[in-house]
Chain A
């Protein structure tokens, strides 16, 4: 068995960035595993990524229907057991609707679709998703969304804010671009790290987040590799 960590990427009907996420994870030396939305059980995985796109046409509210997908129940169970789950853009919206992350994402204050690089400030570098970043560091990663205005619950613990926009593009409360759950094993962000893993494409700062995830997944994969040996 390969000693690479196995990172699943879920494809919902309407997912769009699943292939980019698979490519980026493989480029960062993970075994990237496609996971279909109809699967009620996950294969053996060390981490899961919910990619961007427009799952179920974004009907009703973004992420509201994907919450009922068989795979979302499996991902929830995986997260409850402490598994690493990263939601990007629509994946972030799904994690919020599924109750795995606090808050909700609404139409951009400008009502415009925004597609450009943004600067992000790293608030926490002690998470499996940010271990290769430094607190206070500025990352350049693109956003592309119409519904990225984050509204936290009134009781959000500020320690759950992982990333903030340097120049808020969408009206998010407190400039929040990414949050984690209290336990720190589930994170969501609106910017797309999978689109920023090669300097040739503008920035490779997204690789810091995805490589952090792959690194944390490697630590979790190691016991299994030893078992197999």
Chain B
């Protein structure tokens, strides 16, 4: 089962990469604000059903993929 994990800097955590991207986009003439840069982790999970797959990916996020002090995560599952 295909899973996608989106890891984002939590609100309030300074994200200089987001600021740099925002300023580069402004340089190109785009009117943007609030740019934040996170990470995407694509995975193939072996599980018998979506609920089990989600539970496993939750554990992966808690134990490794995200640092709860500074990052939030979101899990998307595709059959």
Contacts and interface: CB of A to CB of B under 8 A. Distances in A.
A103 interface: yes
Interface string A151-173: 10100000000000000000100
Nearest to A153: B69
B25 interface: no
Contact of A107 (B17, B67, B69): B17
Nearest to B13: A151
Contacts of B70: 104, 106, 151
A60 B7 CA distance: 11
A103 B69 contact: yes
Query: DSSP majority for the A interface?
Result: loop
Interface string A180-216: 0000000000000000000000000000000000000
A60 B65 contact: yes
Contacts of A151: 13, 69-70
B13 to A, nearest CB: 7
Given A106-B70, A153-B69, A60 B64 contact: yes
A108 B13 CA distance: 12
A103 B70 CA distance: 9
Nearest to A61: B67
Contacts of B65: 60
A111 B69 contact: no
Given A64-B64, A106-B14, 12 more contacts: A61-B67, A64-B67, A97-B67, A106-B13, A107-B17, A109-B14, A109-B16, A111-B17, A111-B20, A151-B69, A153-B69, A171-B16
19 contacts: A60-B64, A60-B65, A64-B64, A97-B67, A103-B69, A104-B67, A104-B69, A104-B70, A106-B14, A107-B17, A108-B16, A109-B14, A109-B16, A110-B16, A111-B20, A149-B14, A151-B13, A151-B70, A153-B69
Interface of A: 60-61, 64, 97, 103-104, 106-111, 149, 151, 153, 171
